[in-house]
Amino acid sequence: MELGTNFAAKLEPFLLISKSAKGAAAAKLIQDATSAQGVFVFAELLELPNIQELASNEQHAPFFSLLQVFSYRTYKDYLASKDSLPQLNQTQIIKLKHLSIVSLAANRRILPYSLLLQELQMPTIRDLEDLIIDAIYLDILRGKLDQKEQQLEIEYTMGRDLEPGKAEAVLAALKTWASTTASVLSALDDKLAQIASYSVAVAADNEEHDRAYNATLKDVSKDTKKRGPLTAGGNIVRGGVDLTDAMDVDEEPRMKGRNQPIICFAEDWRIFHRGMPAEAILKQQRKRNRF
């Protein structure tokens, strides 16, 4: 829910009363509206004919000026003209200070305590922080108090009434913002299109690479089957050792001594023998060949 969405409803009772209020009654209505809890926007009341008539009445003109202050000016503006304006009660002072924070936040997101103390004429930092916390609870603004850096970080604020002649400036600012936003969105669209095109190209390249890889793998597999997985140059090879001569059962393997141990592979069980005398190995081979 946006800030200040219910503020207009709070003003409704005063708008109804103002239709029949003139002169002193209209001046009293301004005092009541600016003191009422939850009423922070006054543009509709300010534009009513009965209220506009007060501006030309010397006796009640100060109340019309006071309503202008609450509508779009600040506490500092009130202090500059306080001699010609009605005196404020404590509720009006606090409300005007809250509205002044909103106006200050329109120009900068970070509000130092030093600036707020000066603009709002607050005696201590503790009083200033209490004022800001009350404004947050009243849904006038959202922000964070940074006590270490002595500043208020603004996130959102309610909208105040526009001063006469300021609507054109706001419209110009909105047009500039809309133009900038459109340019950013256009640039993002172009970037997304480039990324999509690049992704398609990468996918096609990966697919071609996989196709070539699978074709090469298939050729290697066929070639391996033709040559035999355990042959190299027509000889039987196991573990990098040429066993062609050793597997001839009619011919004894070459060795320096018949009883010296040799390395032999048992073909039927694929068992690796180490340290067995050559004579015993040959007997085992001949015995298997008989069966």
Task: Give the count of beta carbons closer than 10 Å to the beta carbon of residue 282.
Answer: 17
The answer on 151 and 257 residing in a single domain is: no
The confidence score (pLDDT) of residue 168 equals 75
Write down the pLDDT at residue 84.
Answer: 94
How confident is the model at residue 223, as a pLDDT? 79
pLDDT along the chain (291 residues), means of 10: 70 92 94 95 94 94 96 95 95 97 94 97 96 95 95 94 78 85 92 92 90 86 69 49 50 47 44 52 60 53
> Total domain count for the chain?
2
**Looking at the domain assignment, is residue 48 inside a domain?**
yes
Tokens, residue 114: 């030093």
Full domain range(s) for residue 282: 231-290
State the pLDDT at residue 241.
52
With 0.85 as the threshold, say if the pTM is over it. Answer: no
Domain finish residue from 134, 157, 180: 157
Tell me if 260 is assigned to some domain: yes
Q: Same domain, yes or no, for 26 and 140?
A: yes
On whether residue 99 sits in a domain, the answer given is yes
The answer to whether residue 186 sits within a structural domain is no
Residue 256's pLDDT is what?
Answer: 45
Q: Are 102 and 242 in the same domain? A: no
Asked if the structure places residue 207 within a domain, the reply is no
Q: Please say whether the beta carbons of 152 and 138 come within 8 A.
A: no
Q: Cα dist. 194→97, 118, 191, 207 in Å?
A: 52, 53, 5, 20
Same domain assignment for residues 247 and 120: no
115 and 13 in a common domain = yes
Does residue 98 belong to any structural domain of this protein? yes
Q: Same domain for 150 and 249?
A: no
Residue 135 and residue 257 in one domain: no
Q: Which of 157, 184, 218 is a domain's end point?
A: 157
Domain final residue, candidates 91, 123, 157: 157
Structure confidence at residue 134 (pLDDT): 96
Supply the pLDDT for residue 67: 96
- pLDDT for 228 equals 58
Of 147, 163, 2, nearest to 71 by C-alpha is 163
The answer to whether position 200 is within a domain reads no
The reply to whether 265 and 132 lie within a common domain is no
What pLDDT, on the 0 to 100 scale, is given for residue 35? Answer: 96
- Examine residue 185 and state whether it is found in any structural domain, yes or no: no
